[in-house]
Structure 1
Amino acid sequence: MKRLFSLLLFIYISGATMAQDQKAKEFYDKGVKSFVARKPSDATESLLKAIEQDSTYADAYFKLGQMSETARNEGNAMKYYAKAIQFKPEEPSYRQAYTYVGTRALRAGDYQKAKPLLEYALKQSPPGSMIVKQLNKQLETCNFAIEAQQKKLSFAAKDMGEAINFKTYQYFPVLTADNETLFFTARSNEGDENLFSSQFVDGKWSKPESISSNINTPANEGTCSISADGRTLVFTSCDAKDSFGSCDLYISKKVGDEWSAPENLGLNINTHEWEAQPSLSNDGHILYFSSKRRGGFGEKDLWMSELVNNVWSPAVNLGNTINTDKDDISPFIHANGHTLFFASEGHTGMGGFDLFMTEQKLNTYTKPQNLGYPINTHEDQVALFITSDGKKGYYSFNTKQTTRLYEFDIPQELSTRFSRVNYVKGIVQDAQTKKNISADIELIDLKTGKTIERVKSDTKTGQYTAVLPNGSHFGLFINKDNYFNKSLSFDFSEKTDANGKTVNVSLEPIRKDVDIVLNNIFFDSGKAELRPESFAELDKLLLLLKGNPQVKVEISGHTDNVGKDTDNLALSQSRADAVVSYLVSKGAIATNVKAVGYGETRPIAANDTDENRQMNRRIEMKIF
């Protein structure tokens, strides 16, 4: 009897369940008919009743998911699609649900969840269809991100605090080469973008100030770039009166404490399309920027222009090694002059905009490298600045409510991938009057003879800044008409770290009986043969002699006090003779130059340290 009762109860429950499923099916069919008849409210009501009758009704969930996706109700679409997958897993017709849920998981940075969903969607997609291309790209992102997270960089970003983050939105930070002045864009909720600057004083950043009333206007000014010395500014202005259309790039120069009225960079750079996000080279002679103009490879591309004879050359596209069919934006050329950082949606990354780096070699660019996790995440990373010494990075991070500036120490794993640079700064003055003067400053690689950089000291303040890379021997030549040239020597052939130094320069007016040290004349120890690194200095002196054929100069050789007096005297004479022979061989009038060796008799420093003895081993010139 008990077995008979149990059997009857089972038959009753099964019949009731089948009846309930049938009722759910009726609601489902009614909902589909309403959907086809474009009655979404009726369709939703019927489908919800279907899942009330059968909470495992996968097809009803799937249809609700489709309707929610069409209505752009992401919350409901995710909820219903997930239920459909749960109750009817690996259903081929649910490819849309797998794609939708997988894509959202990818956007949220849940790569482990996204990957199997997208893999199944790909499996069910028609070969050669557009969705296959999308899914393959998304799976490439998943695989890259999972591997990148396993190779996590040592990275900890620090909010720059309320003093700097004083408005609702702050972004696109840039610094001068000495890391003492910060420029950035800021705007309030009202929407007017302006440029601000802050000084690093006593270990902290000062209260930001508007860069200049000549620059900030009721129109939007932002996303700027600054030269190494902080005196050439290129920035973006949108809808200005003299704009060619959309956003254009403008330039302003600082003389003393005043910024000049901005000038549109002209049709070689600006078009009626969007141009923005500039990045200047150290000396302000090369400009990188992003533009949506024609002639690119997709959406926004990276472009470059060079200042030649004081005219910006027609912008050229950086090519498809860097640019993709998606947006490639926010270029930043590091102070080393050959490492370019930028943001891209098109290169493989963590999803959205990631930061990449590439090296310029022989007018080509290497394949861009992702900067890695967690510098890059599933969020958009756009604007990056890395200091000239390679020690710190600055960027902006945005939430739905605000955008703030952050700083971080460059991870060791990243710092080994690009070269750091040094800087030298100071003031150029007249040696007699102590008046600040403007002079031409040229950085030459003494090993190759190539000019690396040309800058000027400020007309009013006399201030200058030059950037010196590692890996070679450099001469810094300070030139001004009617003054003797001044040269500084920096041997960074074996240097790997980076730092800065202050060197004030006094230029002597051209006159008789002034001893000028030629700092970039080199000989091997105990020998009198000129090393090739000497030629840049000698060629500068040659220009002076040829330009002033009436001038007669004495070239004098000097040594330290190590060794015999007679040997030192002979060596100094031989070295002076070598310099004169070079000058005469290159066209100097033989009767206008004479060589004198003084040996160790005229030291300019005590011979008590290696550094002082090196100062005493020198070649000088003077007019007689």
Structure 2
Amino acid sequence: MLVFLLLIPLCHTMHHRSCLPFLFLLGALAPAASAQTLPPNLLLDDTFDDNRQGWRVAADANGSFALEGGTYRVRNQQGVSLELKTLPLNLGADYALEATVQLQGEGRGGLFWGAADDDNGNVFALENDGRSYVIGRWQKGKWEELRPATAVPGNAGGKPHTLRVLVRGNEARYYIDGTEVWKQAGLRTYGTDLGPYASRQAELRLDRLRAWHKASIRLAPDLPLTMQREHLGVAINEPDVRETNPRVSPDGRQLYFARDVQQGTTQNLDVFVAQRQPDGRYADVQPLGKPLNNEGNNAVESITPDGNTALLMNLYKPDGSSRPERGASVARRRPDGSWGTPEQVRFRALPPAAERADYCLAASGNVMLLALDAPTHPQKCDLYVSHQTPKGDWTEPKPLGGTINTPGDDYAPYLAPDGRTLYFASSGHPGFGGDDIFVTTRLDETWTKWSPPLNLGPGINTLQDDGYFSVTASGDHSFLVGTNDRGNYDLYRVALPPALRPKATVLVRGRTLDARTNQPIVADIKVELQPKGTAAGEARAATAGRFQLTLPGGSTYVVRATATGYLPTTEPLDLSSNAQYSEISRDILLAPLSAGQRIALNNLFFQQSKPDLLPTSQPELDRLVQVLKDNPELKIRLEGHTDNQGDPKLNVKLSEERVQHVQQYLVGQGIAAARLQTVGFGGSKPVAPNDNEYNRRKNRRVELVVVE
């Protein structure tokens, strides 16, 4: 069997045309489905409006393959021309194939299906300008005709016809334009490859190709048929160059990615950043330069919500050059906006045999997801979780569990800003071919219990490998890596439907300012979830004092800002009513460490009408200890206040005893008593009217005043 064949894979976008007309062919194979959402057993639906499946586009003396205006055109001058794609079919289950084709010329053209390669497969083809059809098979390169040339029902030449094959068990039924033309018993199926076929002196036009299969693919619910993915264009995707690792900033304004660049005689990845333009395009692409880019392979694995910390692939020497060991690094912006030299992320242990790795830093800053070589499968990856310790290093990675990890390749984790929705790539979960992208939800705080992963559907996943997903904080757009028609990795964007979006998050923007001058200052921001006190987010207000955080809606938080030479500030942040994505602004004022400055210690809690500190006060007390240790010359006065309820004398006594309890704790932590004064004012200095419980709560407080 003579063949000219060049297989070049490419990602695809999902098309909008309804798939309902073919449902009647499948019977029990295809349950009824809404015209607005994707049925669960549509495996392939290509209308050739673009090259979403990476069909060959080439020409030589033997003929040509071209994609033109919604048609895949195969012209053959001699021999046999075909192009094959491998479908993820279970050949032990029923399936159906359909192609809308038009044939010109005296030769033969149609479907080559159930194939293992170009020498072994089945043929359902038209002849003689489409006036007749033939059914046969190639086996070990030899042709066997099963159904000799027979007139097409209606005998209409030169017009499009719909060829359908319905396979049940070892029987195949063949249809032309909805009419059954032949039934074949004893079907031989050589493999799962499918594609167009044209013999010499024939031109085949393929307008649509579909495959149906009752597979075990678990689709995310309510996937729309209109979902498409968009190639990001030549500003991002250079011809014949690999682009990978798209990481979008939470606000969607910057897109970080890696691109191959020529370095001497080799190509290595460098990090680039693109800016979103007013029309939504990404352009103005700039390399990040040194020290993030060096002579090795460089890529951004995660960018923090404030854009000031980057988690990077591989390790760096102090001079910025590349280290040979595997690992991850962290780089932080300086106040002038430049990047500092990346520093190694230190894990307490890593699997000794791991050679490949992907990393993803959670928006909270204290959790990292990894893809590492699986211990029992050296060529496969599993997903792991690691937690940051109080010392700043990271725990030994722990597997995410069997719900996610498979005997296949599970990699490219991306934890959405909500801290619970995980996207990842896998070859081990049922999919549409190659490696697909899946979504799962964390069910508890163990990080080992997850919902069953759901396939993102053929609007995102293709017959090729798809991966490295990231999403904006609003969840409206995602970015991923696919393969173009020249075999190179390119970047794509998808407008995400609600079914695929993470939980609602809130983008918090603000500045840290000097309380006296209102000028911006460099500060560190940490956020704690209330009432648990667990870390929920962090940022560094560096350039112009600006910071940015993403926090899950539906909860309340405490925001703490610290800066050298300033008193720490804590402020409540109530997002309990934020059920949808929103953006808010919040500036934080920090008082300098100078005599007379005052700050409320908002997170000191006492037993009702007693001076005893509650355990929930521990984080605030420890922060105060750290401030006093960092500033050994600092002397303070702790002032206690109550509301005006009850006996005024008892209120004064209670307020005095409470600040004395705080003083005792500080002394117990090594702070000299001579640096600590205390005084109780009872209810004599309210900051709000004592007319309701909300205001009275404001008046029940401890304040810190700088003495010197």
TM-score, length-scaled by structure 2: 0.59
Aligned partners of 2:634, 2:334: CA distance in 1, in Å? 36
Aligned partners of 1:103, 1:531: CA distance in 2, in Å? 74
Q: Which residue of 2 aligns with 1:255?
A: 334
Higher RCO (C-alpha 8 Å, min separation 6): 2
Q: Does 1:290 align with 2:371?
A: yes
Aligned partners of 2:624, 2:633: CA distance in 1, in Å? 10
Q: Give matches, 1:212-291, under 5 Å.
A: 212-222=289-299, 224-236=301-313, 242-244=323-325, 249-256=328-335, 257-262=337-342, 268-269=349-350, 274-282=355-363, 284-291=365-372
Cα displacement string for residues 102-122 of structure 1 (whole angstroms, at most 9, x for unaligned residues): 7999xx98332x56xxxxxxx
Q: Is the 8 A contact 1:571 1:599 kept in 2?
A: no
Q: Which residue of 2 aligns with 1:405?
A: 491
Cα displacement string for residues 263-304 of structure 1 (whole angstroms, at most 9, x for unaligned residues): 565795596754243212225443333333534586222234
- SS of the aligned residue for 1:255 comes to coil
Q: Give matches, 1:473-552, under 5 Å.
A: 473-480=556-563, 482-520=565-603, 535=617, 539=621, 543=625, 551-552=635-636
Q: Is the 8 A contact 2:246 2:479 kept in 1?
A: yes
Q: Is the 8 A contact 2:591 2:598 kept in 1?
A: no
Q: Is the 8 A contact 1:336 1:419 kept in 2?
A: yes
Deviation at 1:344, TM superposition (A): 0.9
Cα displacement string for residues 176-222 of structure 1 (whole angstroms, at most 9, x for unaligned residues): 33433321123479954321112346575450100123233454333
Aligned partners of 2:605, 2:237: CA distance in 1, in Å? 51
Aligned partners of 1:449, 1:314: CA distance in 2, in Å? 24
The percentage of counterpart residues that share the same residue type is: 21
- SS of the aligned residue for 2:252 comes to coil
**In structure 2, what residue type is equivalent to 1:96?**
T
Query: Kindly tell me: are residues 600 and 421 of structure 1, through their superposed partners in 2, closer, same or farther at Cα, counting changes over 3 Å?
Result: same
Q: Give matches, 1:45-60, under 5 Å.
A: none
Q: Does 1:359 align with 2:359?
A: no
**In structure 1, what residue type is equivalent to 2:255?**
L
Aligned partners of 2:469, 2:384: CA distance in 1, in Å? 18
Q: Which residue of 2 aligns with 1:386?
A: 471
Q: Which residue of 1 aligns with 2:247?
A: 174
Query: Kindly tell me: are residues 515 and 210 of structure 1, through their superposed partners in 2, closer, same or farther at Cα, counting changes over 3 Å?
Result: same
Q: Does 1:303 align with 2:354?
A: no
Q: Which residue of 2 aligns with 1:152?
A: 224
Cα displacement string for residues 369-415 of structure 1 (whole angstroms, at most 9, x for unaligned residues): 21433444443331211223333322234321365434344322233
Deviation at 1:343, TM superposition (A): 0.9
Aligned partners of 1:344, 1:109: CA distance in 2, in Å? 25
Query: Kindly tell me: are residues 249 and 259 of structure 1, through their superposed partners in 2, closer, same or farther at Cα, counting changes over 3 Å?
Result: same
Q: Is the 8 A contact 2:368 2:386 kept in 1?
A: yes
Query: Kindly tell me: are residues 446 and 100 of structure 1, through their superposed partners in 2, closer, same or farther at Cα, counting changes over 3 Å?
Result: closer
**In structure 1, what residue type is equivalent to 2:558?**
G
Aligned partners of 1:575, 1:326: CA distance in 2, in Å? 64
Aligned partners of 1:201, 1:110: CA distance in 2, in Å? 37
Q: Which residue of 2 aligns with 1:329?
A: 411
Aligned partners of 1:409, 1:518: CA distance in 2, in Å? 44
Q: Is the 8 A contact 1:221 1:238 kept in 2?
A: no
Q: Does 1:441 align with 2:525?
A: yes
Aligned partners of 1:193, 1:170: CA distance in 2, in Å? 8
Deviation at 1:482, TM superposition (A): 5.0
Aligned partners of 2:244, 2:415: CA distance in 1, in Å? 17
Q: Give matches, 1:56-135, under 5 Å.
A: 61-64=138-141, 90-92=184-186, 94-97=187-190, 99-100=191-192, 110-112=210-212
Q: Is the 8 A contact 1:271 1:293 kept in 2?
A: no
- SS of the aligned residue for 2:705 comes to strand
Deviation at 1:583, TM superposition (A): 3.1
Aligned partners of 1:254, 1:552: CA distance in 2, in Å? 33
Aligned partners of 2:253, 2:510: CA distance in 1, in Å? 14
Q: Does 1:369 align with 2:453?
A: yes
Aligned partners of 1:241, 1:550: CA distance in 2, in Å? 43
Q: Does 1:414 align with 2:507?
A: no
- SS of the aligned residue for 1:110 comes to strand
Aligned partners of 1:158, 1:223: CA distance in 2, in Å? 22
Q: Is the 8 A contact 2:599 2:703 kept in 1?
A: yes
Deviation at 1:533, TM superposition (A): 10
**In structure 1, what residue type is equivalent to 2:304?**
S
**In structure 1, what residue type is equivalent to 2:598?**
D
Aligned partners of 2:188, 2:539: CA distance in 1, in Å? 61
**In structure 1, what residue type is equivalent to 2:383?**
L
Range that drifts further, 478-487 or 247-256: 247-256
Query: Kindly tell me: are residues 530 and 272 of structure 1, through their superposed partners in 2, closer, same or farther at Cα, counting changes over 3 Å?
Result: closer
Aligned partners of 1:203, 1:531: CA distance in 2, in Å? 55
Cα displacement string for residues 133-182 of structure 1 (whole angstroms, at most 9, x for unaligned residues): xxxxxx434xx57xx79853663444545544455543322123343332
Bigger share in strand: 2
Query: Kindly tell me: are residues 278 and 159 of structure 1, through their superposed partners in 2, closer, same or farther at Cα, counting changes over 3 Å?
Result: same
Q: Which residue of 2 aligns with 1:319?
A: 401
**In structure 2, what residue type is equivalent to 1:442?**
K
**In structure 2, what residue type is equivalent to 1:208?**
V
Aligned partners of 1:431, 1:150: CA distance in 2, in Å? 50
Cα displacement string for residues 9-58 of structure 1 (whole angstroms, at most 9, x for unaligned residues): xxxxxxxxxxxxxxxxxxxxxxxxxxxxxxxxxx99xxxxxxxxxx9998
Cα displacement string for residues 320-347 of structure 1 (whole angstroms, at most 9, x for unaligned residues): 3211111112110122233321011111
Aligned partners of 2:253, 2:681: CA distance in 1, in Å? 46
Q: Give matches, 1:165-204, under 5 Å.
A: 165=237, 168-187=241-260, 192-200=268-276, 204=280
Aligned partners of 2:582, 2:193: CA distance in 1, in Å? 50
- SS of the aligned residue for 2:284 comes to coil
Deviation at 1:250, TM superposition (A): 4.2
Query: Kindly tell me: are residues 551 and 446 of structure 1, through their superposed partners in 2, closer, same or farther at Cα, counting changes over 3 Å?
Result: farther
**Which runs of no fewer than 5 residues in structure 1 stay unpaired?**
1-42, 45-54, 68-81, 116-138, 560-564
Query: Kindly tell me: are residues 527 and 491 of structure 1, through their superposed partners in 2, closer, same or farther at Cα, counting changes over 3 Å?
Result: farther
Aligned partners of 1:322, 1:185: CA distance in 2, in Å? 27
- SS of the aligned residue for 1:535 comes to helix
**In structure 2, what residue type is equivalent to 1:386?**
V
Cα displacement string for residues 491-529 of structure 1 (whole angstroms, at most 9, x for unaligned residues): 2234322333343434323333223244557899x9999
Aligned partners of 1:271, 1:251: CA distance in 2, in Å? 22
Q: Is the 8 A contact 1:251 1:262 kept in 2?
A: yes
Aligned partners of 2:322, 2:627: CA distance in 1, in Å? 51
Query: Kindly tell me: are residues 573 and 441 of structure 1, through their superposed partners in 2, closer, same or farther at Cα, counting changes over 3 Å?
Result: farther
Query: Kindly tell me: are residues 571 and 600 of structure 1, through their superposed partners in 2, closer, same or farther at Cα, counting changes over 3 Å?
Result: farther
Aligned partners of 1:289, 1:538: CA distance in 2, in Å? 32
- SS of the aligned residue for 2:595 comes to coil
Q: Is the 8 A contact 1:152 1:373 kept in 2?
A: no
Q: What is the total number of aligned residue pairs between the two structures?
A: 519
Aligned partners of 1:242, 1:584: CA distance in 2, in Å? 49
**Which of residues 654, 662, 675 in structure 2 aligns to 1:583?**
662
Aligned partners of 2:547, 2:479: CA distance in 1, in Å? 24
**In structure 1, what residue type is equivalent to 2:680?**
A
Q: Is the 8 A contact 1:439 1:480 kept in 2?
A: yes
Q: Is the 8 A contact 1:273 1:292 kept in 2?
A: yes
